[in-house]
């Protein structure tokens, strides 16, 4: 049994912690770490975790911890991952992987040098419908891929720190980095160019202080293999959580996802039809989180490459940066500009 410590006990961290607390074969939740006492003690009480840490450095000094799950603010990822690798611990790191491509390179090199596994948290790759769509594409069922379109609309009100898009990236990074990864996943190619436009439609009260803030954007992409891509991202949509994908081929198409949360429909006497809407990514991708955790453990046990590598994490960071640059500079950004 692999002993796993989850570092970061916020909303996303607890999703991972609950997976390792009995839902993943071959691993167990041995410890949790969070600088906030209430968060870590609540996590330990809920999940029956025997050890807690306030400082992630102490996790690295614990010889009984085999792997860490890093779910901290992005700015901390590089230091934690490099230290974990040096301590001989396998690493699962949530997205975004780091604050820059340079930090990604350092994390990849540290894990490679130490001979430990590194997996990045793009859980949509482990969604069963996404996996079936990829299998259909690989089997040639829709011919050659021409265009991949992915959208994510999130309902949450922006947090104050998000308004500085030079640091947060805005919805391009916070909401749609998963969409960027899905486009790479389904095209099997790197991006050649990006063009993004956006605007602030739901938070006009912050426009004077944060003129660069945008809550909605549209992006078109071209890929090195000639395929096309489109991303539609929005924050604070209020109607619910919305995540869908379409792949157009030369001989057919594939649709993944739908707005309704469940399959039942209510028709009432006033002539209206109602279906419940997805309210959160935590519900929509609940099984995918378990499957990605299992894949991480399986890669360690069987000594195989992780299914979402450090390179995948780095390329997502590159796309986010290209997209934000395009939006702010009102122009097409080429990958060759780097």
- What sign has the CA pseudo-torsion 13, 19, 25, 28? positive
- Mean pLDDT for 122-146 is 97
Portion of the chain with pLDDT greater than 90, in percent: 89
Portion of the chain with pLDDT greater than 70, in percent: 100
Q: Which residue has the tokens 């002993």?
A: 3
Instruction: State yes or no: pLDDT of 338 exceeds 80.
Output: no
Q: Decide if 119 contacts 296 (C-beta within 8 A).
A: yes
**Which residue segment(s) compose the domain that 73 sits in?**
2-116
Rounded to an integer, what is the distance from CA 292 to the centroid of its chain?
11
Q: Report the CATH number that the domain containing residue 54 is assigned in CATH.
A: 3.40.50.720
Give the residue from 116, 140, 174 where a domain finishes. 116
On average, the pLDDT of the chain sits at: 95
26 with 138, same domain: the answer is no
Question: Is 292 inside any structural domain?
Answer: no
Question: Is 38 inside any structural domain?
Answer: yes
pLDDT digits (tens, 9 = 90+) for 49-65: 999 999 999 999 999 99
102 with 182, same domain: the answer is no
Question: Is 28 inside any structural domain?
Answer: yes
Q: CA-to-CA distance for 190 and 335, rounded, in angstroms?
A: 9
Instruction: State yes or no: pLDDT of 108 exceeds 80.
Output: yes
Instruction: State yes or no: pLDDT of 278 exceeds 90.
Output: no
147 with 276, same domain: the answer is yes
104 with 176, same domain: the answer is no
178 with 43, same domain: the answer is no
106 with 147, same domain: the answer is no
Q: What confidence tier does 312 reach under pLDDT thresholds 50, 70, 90? A: very high
> What is residue 107's predicted lDDT score, i.e. its pLDDT?
98
Alpha helices in the chain (DSSP H): 11-20, 37-47, 56-60, 77-86, 101-114, 128-138, 165-168, 171-174, 177-187, 281-284, 286-302, 310-329
Q: What confidence tier does 268 reach under pLDDT thresholds 50, 70, 90? A: confident
Global pTM? 0.92
- For residue 319, what are the CA distances in angstroms to 9, 38, 209, 302? 28, 36, 27, 31
Q: Which of 42-46, 284-288, 332-336 has the lowest mean pLDDT?
A: 284-288
93 with 186, same domain: the answer is no
6 with 146, same domain: the answer is no
> What is residue 122's predicted lDDT score, i.e. its pLDDT?
97
322 with 272, same domain: the answer is yes
- What sign has the CA pseudo-torsion 162, 183, 234, 71? negative
| Domains identified in the chain, total number | 2
**Which run of H or E residues covers position 197?**
strand 191-199
227 with 84, same domain: the answer is no
- Mean pLDDT for 101-116 is 98
Give the residue from 82, 116, 150 where a domain finishes. 116
pLDDT digits (tens, 9 = 90+) for 214-244: 999 999 999 999 999 999 999 999 999 999 9
Q: In this structure, what DSSP letter does residue 277 have? A: B
- Mean pLDDT for 149-167 is 94
Instruction: State yes or no: pLDDT of 33 exceeds 90.
Output: yes
Question: Is 36 inside any structural domain?
Answer: yes
Tokens matching residue 265: 């429909």
- Mean pLDDT for 318-335 is 97
Q: Report the CATH number that the domain containing residue 251 is assigned in CATH.
A: 3.30.360.10
List, in order, residues 6 or more apart from 234 with CB less than 8 Å away: 152, 153, 154, 171, 175, 215, 216, 217
Task: Please indicate whether residue 276 or residue 330 has the higher confidence score (pLDDT).
Answer: 330
Question: Is 225 inside any structural domain?
Answer: yes
> What is residue 304's predicted lDDT score, i.e. its pLDDT?
98
Question: Is 40 inside any structural domain?
Answer: yes
> What is residue 264's predicted lDDT score, i.e. its pLDDT?
82
Question: Is 52 inside any structural domain?
Answer: yes
Which among 196, 184, 182, 179 has a CA at the least distance from the CA of 225?
Answer: 184
8: left (phi > 0), else alpha (psi -120 to 50), else beta?
left
How big is the chain by its Cα radius of gyration, in Å? 20
242 with 172, same domain: the answer is yes
> What is residue 203's predicted lDDT score, i.e. its pLDDT?
96
DSSP characters for 211-264? Answer: TT--SEEEEEEEETTS-EEEEEEEE--SS--EEEEEEEESS-EEEE--SBSSS-
- Mean pLDDT for 307-318 is 97
Question: Is 308 inside any structural domain?
Answer: no
18 with 100, same domain: the answer is yes
Give the residue from 59, 84, 116 where a domain finishes. 116
Instruction: State yes or no: pLDDT of 262 exceeds 80.
Output: no
């Amino acid at each position: 049994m692999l002993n796993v410590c989850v570092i970061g006990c916020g909303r996303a961290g607890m999703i991972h912690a609950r997976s390792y607390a009995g839902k993943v074969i071959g691993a167990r939740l041995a410890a949790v770490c969070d600088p906030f006492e209430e968060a870590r003690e609540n996590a330990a009480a809920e999940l029956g975790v025997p050890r807690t840490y306030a400082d992630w450095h102490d996790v690295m000094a614990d010889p009984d911890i085999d792997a860490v799950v890093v779910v901290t603010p992005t700015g901390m990822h590089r230091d934690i991952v490099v230290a974990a690798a040096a301590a001989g611990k396998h690493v699962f790191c949530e997205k975004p992987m780091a604050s820059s491509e340079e930090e990604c390179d350092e994390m990849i090199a540290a894990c490679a040098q130490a001979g430990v596994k590194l997996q990045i948290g793009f859980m949509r790759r482990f969604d069963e419908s996404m996996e079936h769509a990829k299998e259909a594409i690989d089997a040639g069922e829709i011919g050659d891929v021409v265009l991949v379109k992915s959208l994510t609309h999130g309902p949450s009100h922006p947090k104050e720190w998000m308004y500085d898009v030079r640091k947060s990236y805005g919805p391009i990074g916070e909401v749609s980095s998963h969409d960027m990864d899905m486009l790479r996943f389904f095209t099997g190619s790197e991006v050649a160019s990006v063009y993004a436009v956006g605007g602030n439609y739901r938070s006009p009260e912050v426009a004077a202080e944060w003129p660069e803030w945008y809550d909605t954007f549209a992006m078109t992409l071209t890929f090195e293999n000639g395929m096309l891509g489109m991303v539609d991202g929005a924050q604070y949509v209020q109607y619910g959580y919305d995540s869908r994908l379409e792949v157009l081929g030369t001989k057919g198409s594939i649709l993944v996802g739908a707005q309704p949360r469940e399959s039942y429909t209510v028709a009432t006497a006033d002539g209206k039809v109602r279906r419940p809407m997805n309210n959160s990514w935590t519900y929509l991708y609940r099984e995918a989180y378990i499957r990605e955790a299992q894949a991480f453990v399986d890669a360690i046990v069987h000594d195989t490459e992780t299914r979402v590598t450090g390179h995948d994490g780095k390329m997502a960071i590159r796309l986010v940066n290209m997209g934000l640059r395009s939006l702010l500079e009102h122009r097409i950004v080429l990958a060759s500009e780097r």
